[in-house]
Structure formats: structure tokens, C-alpha cells
Amino acid sequence: MPKAMRLKEKPKKTSAWGQMDMPFFLLVVVLVVVGLIMLLSASYPTAIYDIKNITGGDAFYYFKRQAVFAAGGIAVMIFVSRLNYQGLRDMTWIVLALAFLCMALVRVPGIGHYANGAYRWLNYPVQWQPSELGKFALILFFAARLSKRDERRPLEFGRRTIFGRFLNLLERAGFFELVPYILIIVIMVGLLAIEPHMSATIQMLVIAATILFAAGIKLGWFVTGGALAGAGLTYIMFATDYMTSRLQMWRDPWSDPLDKGLQAIQSLMAIGSGGLTGLGLGQSRQKFLYLPEPQNDFVFSIVCEELGFIGAVLVLILFALLIIRGYWLALHARDKFGSLIIVGITTLFAFQVFANVAVVTNLFPVTGISLPFFSYGGTALLIQLAEMGLVLAISRQNPAS
């Protein structure tokens, strides 16, 4: 056989790592860039007038800080994308314990930060919400444990007594398999209740339910769990003054148009003013101290006012494409662990987008859920981009990559 032919037959060396998923990466970068542009447009009047004595009158205060975190976040995303996500299996309990500790510290004077009637922030090393770490810890714990559910040995109880037969019935129904997950959820919800943080509680429950569903837990438990969770949330909403007030403003924001209903009313006015094509980038009127905090949870209202219905739909299409691509990557993941992690992260992202848009259109009561990549918040952006990096790390090991 000729030497040239023998050389061609030599197997090529293949790398253990594939390329990260470029469509997902580019969608993230585009959304971050668009988010920065809209944040600059939405925030500069608030920064100039500086009612809260934060910005010193610097029109670019919010933009510059967010841009620094965005650049750092993209660097972190690329770095995380090159890590072997399999190592996270051994860190599950460490991350979970750290999340529990940080979430409990919000009520410690001098460490926790109180604002808007809630203790949701820690002051160190910078001001941030430990519930963000709690969401990631929940995803990691559920994914790591559920990825090995096929290795679990069923429990066996004595069949001679009624109680033993009842326990065997519960085992066959899958109850004892769910006990660790129920325990973690109860602890998480309990820690969030002391803040209080209803929106994060709902997000935790949605994440948990989605990962359990993706892992193949029996549907009957979702009916039971959904009913119990719904009853519990309903009781909390109507039994606490904090939530009752928000529900009342949601039903009729015009009952207090100059205070508690102001944000919802001005948000709807901003959206309506945008019409089909919008007033033009930078031309919003509501951001000039009419709409409170336009750079935070209600930045999408400014998007609608300046870019109109067409621009808002295009932004939502970008979000939808990223979410769909995320679930596609989950379906093609190398293993169940990676697949469930992507399901959790993508579901969290999708729920945040949906809930934020629902709030600014007054479909939902005000919940305090920010719009990913758009709302001002450096640490939140950094965490979101790190999570996107983890999705990309998993995509590198996909068989199709």
C-alpha cells in the first residue's frame, strides 16, 4: 500500500472538548448589548436628577457600572464555558450549605440590607441577593440527585402489618424518593419567608417542578404538589398585609394613582404611548421621573415606548430563540446531569422574562422580578452570565458538538 494511502488511514486525534454552541453564545451577547443600550436610554434622566443622591448627577452612572459588569460577565461566561461541569457533582452540598447560610444572614443587623419592606440583600462583598445563589443551588442539587435516580434501591417494609403495607404503597407511588427534594424546598421557602420574597419563592417552586418533571417523576405528584403549593401561596397572599396591598393595587392601580398604583399606571401609559413603531430610541417621556425606577424592573416599558410594538416583539423573539436553543441543548446533552442543569437554568430564565413582561403590562401584580440582561443590577447580570457559561460548558460535551 502506498505511503500516502497509509497516512490517510491514520485516525485523526480528536479533542475531548467540542466547540461551545455558537448560536446560544451569540444570542446571549446580542441580548446583553441591546440591554445595555436600552439601560442607557432608560436610566440617564434618573441619573441626572439624582433624587436619591446616588449618581452625583452623572448621566452615565448606571450605564458605566452595568457595562463593567457586562464585560466582566462575558469574560466569566467564556471562562465557565471551558470548565468540566462534571466536577459540580461533588460541590452540590457545599453550594447548598453556602446558599442556606447566605439566605439566613439577610436578617442579621449590619450584614443584611433592608429596603422596600423586605430583607433581601447582603451588603458584602457588594450588595446582592443571596436568593440568586439559592436558585442555582436548588438547580444543582436536583440535577445531581435526579440524574442518579435509576441507581436508587427501592425501600422494603414488612408486609405483615397494615402500616408496613401502607409504607410499601407509598414507596411504589414514589413518595420516599421525593422526601429529600421536599425537605430542601421547605427549607428554601422558609428562608425566603423571613425576608419576605414571594417572587423568589414562586421561582423556586417553578424550577423544582420543572426539573422533577424532566426527570420523569410521576404526574400525580405534580397535581398534589401544585394544589398544596397553590393553597399555601393563596393563604400567604391574602393573610399578609404586604401581599394584600400589592394584590389590591394590581386589581385597581387607579385607587391610589399617586403612590402605590403609580408604577403600574405609568408603565401602561408608556406602553400605550409607543404605539406600533415607538417614539424613537432615547425619546421616551415616561422615564423623566414619571415612571419610578425605569432602569430596573420596568425597563421593558421604556423598550415598548421607544421601540414600539414591533421593537418589543423583536426583543421578545430574541429571548424566545435563546430559550428554545437552551431546551434544544438540554435534549442533546451528553448525560442526564447536564440535561437537567440546562432545563433548570433555561426555565428560570424563561420564567423571569415572562413574569417581568407580565408585571409591566399589569397581567401580574408587582413582584420585583427583573428582566434578564436589561434591568440594572451588576451582580444579577454577573450570575446570569455565569449560568449561561455553564450551559455553554455542557454544550461543549454534547455528542453533536
% the chain with pLDDT above 90: 51
- 241 band by pLDDT with thresholds 50, 70 and 90: low
The pLDDT, as a whole number, for residue 17 is: 54
- pLDDT over 90 at 78, yes or no: yes
Task: For the chain, give the number of residues.
Answer: 401
Q: Is 6 exposed, middle or buried (0-12, 13-18, 19+ CB in 10 A)?
A: exposed
Quick one: pLDDT band at residue 9, thresholds 50, 70, 90?
A: very low
> Looking at residues 261-276, what average pLDDT do you find?
90
For the entire predicted model, the pTM comes to 0.87
Is residue 386 helix, strand or coil? helix
Residue predicted with more confidence, 287 or 245: 287
What is the pLDDT at residue 253? 80
Res 57 pLDDT > 80: yes
Per-residue confidence band for 28, with pLDDT thresholds at 50, 70 and 90: very high
Average pLDDT over residues 310-331: 96
Nearest to 36 by CA among 283, 281, 351: 281
Tens-place pLDDT, residues 101-145:
999 998 888 888 877 677 888 888 778 888 889 999 999 999 999
pLDDT category at 239 given cuts 50, 70, 90 is: low
Domain segments of the chain: what residues? 20-396
For residue 270, pLDDT over 50 is answered with: yes
Q: Which helix (H) or strand (E) holds 276?
A: none
Q: Are 390 and 86 in contact (CB under 8 A)?
A: no
According to the model, what pLDDT value does residue 7 have? 39
Q: Hey, is 114 helix, strand or coil?
A: strand
Spatial separation of the C-alpha atoms in residues 401 and 398, rounded to whole Å: 5
Higher-scoring residue by pLDDT: 347, 231 = 347
Return the half-sphere exposure (C-beta side, CA atoms, 13 A cut-off) of residue 298. 26
